[in-house]
Structure 1
Amino acid sequence: MKRALLSVSDKSNIVEFAKSLIGLEYQIISTGGTYKMLKEAGVTAIEIDEVTKFPECFEGRVKTLNPYIHGGILHRRDKQSHLDQAKELGVEAIDLVCVNLYPFKATIEKTDDFEEIIENIDIGGPAMVRSAAKNFDSVIILTDPSDYSLVLNAIANGDNTVEFRRDLMIKAYEHTAAYDSMIANYMNKRFNNGMGNKQFIVGNKVMDTRYGENPHQKGGLYEFDAFFSKNFKTLKGEASFNNLTDISGAVKIAAAFGDENAICIVKHGNPCGFAIRDNLLDAYNEALKCDPISAFGGVVAVNGVVTKALAEKMNEMFLEVIIAGRIDEEALAVFEPKKRLKLFEYGSERITLSNDAIDFKHIDGGFVFQDADRVTAEEVKNAKLVTKHVADEAAMKDAEIAYKVASLTKSNCVVYVKDSAMVAVGMGMTSRVDAARCALKKAEEMGLDVSGSALASEAFFPFRDSIDAAAGAGVKTVIQPGGSVRDEEVIAAADEHGMALYFTGVRHFLH
């Protein structure tokens, strides 16, 4: 009779799994809480200390670290010397190991008590997982309850092949690697400001993309904390690598204003349209005015529900992607004839953001890592007025929008906003003056009047020339971080032009 060792923290479906294994002529060995649950459910099982011939000790710290356990898992069935030694030592084979680990993540989320956290670091569990994975040639290793039925079917149907066990082995090492990475990252965050000698970035695969940025590159989507699995729904089409990066940029901007009816249009990672209105149809119409040429084939993020009326308007031009809080059934019917359009939603009334705590970027030979940037409402609310002229409430709203959009747009950038809609944007320039000029030139081409608008820059203006150019275009309010050695010159220029100038004291470069 084969033997299975069951020792799990996640006990979902473990009773049913154990019963099915017994039906397949497996003998069950179990530990602690798992044994207790099986016993209460009437499942016949052997408690671990009957196998180890040694009591569980040190408040459960040591129970499976024993040669009768690891010898039973690790000895090779294809080597007679191993079989002979196992017989000599009285070690019986363990053919299936079902283990998942102490809930370290749940513990650090609920408490800061270091003693409790330490006690929720699993030792015996990872050791058994790694032992079974190492000997996958003979042993089935299970770490995920969702694989129970898969394993039962393989055993029952004679499909328990070495290739099948190899796949489970890979999953097992991923499981322990992710677990140890989580502990190391937590300890570095607690004691080394999150910047330890090693930095581990672990994601779970959601799907393959058709390819990467280009057809000759492989690509895939990986997630933190099941964010996409729980929130992101594909309604139509297939998200490409580039779609996903554009969606990320668009939703961050559209959702930066809470529950307001905001729409952001993005092309190649940069906003080419943004507006807030009382309703989303008006917001889309205003956002589109900023740069309808660039919006062609773009990504539209809707912080709300796409209705039939909005869908009909969107259908008037080619859009590649629409991502929204939700897209209702009538809107889906409107979009159906658009073969190339891709539709995604979060299944909620508004866009859902993960608000990741970390940020990183690949560079040649490695990656740079940092705390994620945050643009807070207080930065605008508490911005320092440095000129004689004061912006009214409407102008400050425009300044807030311009400032947040600028903070989420590639440097160097400037953003012009009028009546809660972006009317001009210049981004990704090597010169801030060029960014301002490019934005105004594009606005002129679109026939947009920027007079009376608010201008934001994500970093300080080093010279007064940008202020002079803005004044020439009729800008009345400017918001920027400040901090230049020529701040007084810039302030004086704003006063000369009768502009209101605010310093936030916070820089938001995005590279």
Structure 2
Amino acid sequence: MTALISVSDKSGILEFARGLLECGYEILSTGGTLKHLQDNGINAIDVSAYTSSVEMFDGRVKTLHPKIHGGILHRRDNKEDVEVAKKFEIKDINLVCVNLYPFKETIQRTDDFDEIIENIDIGGPSMVRAAAKNFKDVMIVTDTLDYSLVLNAIKNNQNTLELRQKLMIKAYEHTASYDCMIANYMNERFNVGFGDKHFIYGNLVSPTRYGENPHQKGAYYEFGDFYSKRFETLKGEISFNNLTDINSAVKIASSFGKVPAVCIVKHGNPCGFAIKENLLTSYVEALKCDSVSAYGGVVAINGNIDKALAEEINKIFIEVLVAPSITDEALRVFESKKKIKIFVCGGEYLDFPKDSYDFKHIDGGFLLQNSDSVGENEVRDAKCMGNIEATCEQKRDLEIAYKVASLVKSNCVVYVKNSAMVAVGMGMTSRVDAAKSAINKAKDMGLDLKGCVLASEAFFPFKDSIEEAHKVGVSAIIEPGGSIRDNEVIECANELGISLYFTGVRHFLH
């Protein structure tokens, strides 16, 4: 029995190779893998010695040889194949262990295109695909985590067709994701990210109990390894809807850097947000915005959850808590709450991945775009359009309102007072309806909006929203501008004594 081993990721390979030798395999290997095995006392045969063909072109051609691919691909139950293999002295290669050149690590490390090109594997994918194609006769191992599984199967006579089929699927996933990564990179480098093809691929983290509704199946995948390695479940089982709400809450809570921000989300939209002197006060103020909707909501805490904060949160039913960390004392506060779910991501602050591209599914395809975010100086550089300059406190609140508004479903308006959201209208078919809805909710919650600021993620098409804002005492407004009636809006703000700023950048979120 012969095993061919050629790996870039050498973790666990020595133990795997020793195990194969103990099971009676001889080992063929190449280049760095061969040296690594031999330097550690493992008897391995150089592929070049077996094929009588030296490595060529700085190692670009090593395993592309009939003795290698014939050994993998010939059908053991086909008489003609067996005779051809015998005629040309081609050994049966029964196991192929390959993982590919580190293309992803290379593009993360350097922009040197020559080095990047050299880290595009050719022989590796060819061997993986060949072994996967002939899975009836060959085991293909591409995942370092499968080494123990494969060795145990061989040792216990459980090298079954079913096992080889599972390994085959994994192998094609391995080469497919590798090729997708290369194609996307080349399009990003030469076609500003939008080529004739775009590939979306990810690694399964876990199935969810169901999708958005119980009759739908669901699962979640990751582009890198954040959710499998850094996102930890401390209590409960995460659901499909939890993940989408967590995504919304964390985006908002982490938008202001290293500050004690708290965001409360329900069904994908914020119903509470505040940045105060500490997390406890921020949570208390965030809850005031809409304590009714917060019931059963998702809370993102941009810092460590201590016992005092846990006790405050525990006064109502919160379904999901997500934070960088939580103390043992605080965790014990929630022991009696069976339905609460608690997740941490490590570190001092919420630090989730920020993807460069965003896509939305439509029946028959998907839409692709660069991810949206508020520019670093977008609010600071906003142009005062009227006669009244905002105060420093108002500018701080305008920044909070505007950044939150950029992450709220359109049409939306966000009202902020003293660094806390006091009203929000979202997902409305008209902007003035969003403004009125937010004001009505604030009245229901007994909140005084006098002196607050207002942000909109897109321009106000008419002055009616400015007039509604004035009725409740809005002191400053920030919006992108760009309406054909901007002059009317500016004139109205001046007449009503409201500071008005235009950013020039729209942030629709549909």
Q: TM-score, normalised by structure 1?
A: 0.99
- State the 1:90 CA deviation: 1.2
1:48 paired residue number = 47
Q: Deviations over 1:384-432 (max 9, x none)?
A: 1111111111111110110000000000000000000100000000100
State whether structure 2 residue 103 is matched by structure 1 residue 104: yes
Letter of the structure 1 residue corresponding to residue 118 of structure 2: E
Aligned letter for 2:243? L
| CA distance in 2 between partners of 1:190 and 1:349 (Å) | 34
Counterparts of 1:504 and 1:117, CA distance in 2: 39
Deviation at 1:377, TM superposition (A): 3.2
TM (norm. structure 2) is 0.99
Which residue number in structure 2 is paired with residue 347 of structure 1?
Answer: 346
Are the aligned partners of 2:271 and 2:290 in contact in 1 as well (CA < 8 Å)?
yes
- 1:235 is displaced (CA, Å) by 0.4
Contact 2:373 2:406 in 1 (8 A): no
For the residue of structure 1 that corresponds to 2:56, the secondary structure is: coil
Determine the structure 1 residue equivalent to 2:383: 384
For 1:325, the equivalent position in structure 2 comes to 324
Equivalent residues in 2 for 1:75-94, closer than 5 Å:
75-94=74-93
Shift of 1:144: 1.2
Q: Is the 8 A contact 1:97 1:139 kept in 2?
A: yes
Structure 1 residue 498 and structure 2 residue 507: aligned? no
The aligned residue for residue 435 of structure 1 is 434
- Name the residue aligned to 2:200: 201
Query: Counterpart in 1 of 2:457?
Result: 458
**Post-superposition shift, 1:376?**
2.5
143-152 or 125-134, larger mean C-alpha shift: 143-152
Asked whether the 8 Å contact 1:325–1:346 carries over to 2, the reply is yes
CA RMSD of the aligned region, Å? Answer: 0.8
Q: What does 1:253-292 correspond to in 2, within 5 Å?
A: 253-292=252-291
Task: State the distance in 2 between where 1:74 and 1:237 align.
Answer: 47
Q: Tell me the CA shift for residue 238 of structure 1.
A: 0.5
Contact 2:125 2:175 in 1 (8 A): yes
Unaligned runs of 5+ in 1: none
Structure 1: distance between partners of 2:163 and 2:392: 65
What CA deviation, in whole Å up to 9, does each residue of 1:457-478 have, x standing for no partner?
0000111111111011100010
Tell me the equivalent position of 1:152.
151
Instruction: Work out the number of aligned pairs and report it.
Output: 510
- What is the letter of the counterpart of residue 352 of structure 1? D
- How far has the Cα of 1:107 moved from its partner? 1.3
- CA-CA distance at 1:184 after TM superposition: 0.4
User: Do 2:21 and 2:27's aligned partners in 1 also have CA atoms closer than 8 Å?
Assistant: yes
Specify the alignment match of 2:127 in structure 1: 128
The residue aligned with 2:398 is 399
Instruction: Summarize deviations over 1:267-299 as a string: whole Å, max 9, x none.
Output: 000000011111111111111111111001111
Secondary structure of 2:147 counterpart: helix
- Structure 2 CA distance for aligned equivalents of residues 300 and 438 of structure 1: 23
DSSP 3-state at the match of 2:324: strand
C-alpha contact 1:231 1:352 (8 A) present in aligned 2: no
Structure 1 residue 146: Cα displacement? 1.3
Structure 2 counterpart of 1:463, one-letter code: F
Give 1:121 deviation, angstroms.
0.7
Q: Verify the 8 A CA contact 1:426 1:438 in the aligned structure 2.
A: yes
Alpha-carbon separation, structure 1, partners of 2:75 and 2:333: 62
CA distance in 1, matches of 2:307, 2:62: 62
TM-superposed CA distance for 1:99, in Å, is 0.5
For residues 109-158 of structure 1, give each alpha carbon's deviation from its aligned partner in whole angstroms, at most 9, with x where no partner exists. 12222222111111100000000001111111011111111111110111
Q: What is the CA distance between 1:336 and its match in structure 2?
A: 0.7
Give, in whole Å, the separation in 1 of the partners of 2:346 and 2:109: 27
Q: What's the counterpart of residue 476 of structure 1?
A: 475
Cα-to-partner distance string for 1:240-291 (whole Å, 9 max, x where unaligned): 0000000000000011111111110000000000111111111111111111
Distance 1:186 1:276 in 2: 38
- Are the aligned partners of 1:51 and 1:69 in contact in 2 as well (CA < 8 Å)? no
Displacement over 3 Å in runs of 4+: none
Matches within 5 A, 1:237-248: 237-248=236-247
Q: Distance between the aligned counterparts of 1:231 and 1:41, measured in 2?
A: 33
**Deviation of residue 11 (structure 1)?**
1.1
8 Å contact from structure 1 (residues 212, 219) kept in 2: yes
SS at match of 2:153: helix
Distance 2:374 2:133 in 1: 47
SS where residue 379 of structure 1 aligns? coil
Give the structure 2 partner of residue 307 of structure 1. Answer: 306
Which residue of 2 is the match for residue 174 of structure 1?
173
Query: How far is 1:224 from its partner?
Result: 1.1
After TM superposition, give the deviation of residue 230 of structure 1 in Å: 2.3
Range with greater deviation from structure 2 (6-15 or 168-177): 6-15
- Shifted more, 138-147 versus 245-254: the winner is 138-147
Deviations 1:45-68 (A, max 9, x none): 110112222111111111101110
Partner of 1:380: helix, strand, or coil?
A: coil
Q: Residues of 2 paired with 1:421 and 1:390: CA distance?
A: 21
Q: Which stretch of the first structure deviates more once superposed, 64-73 or 74-83?
A: 74-83
> Equivalent residue of 1:353, what SS?
coil
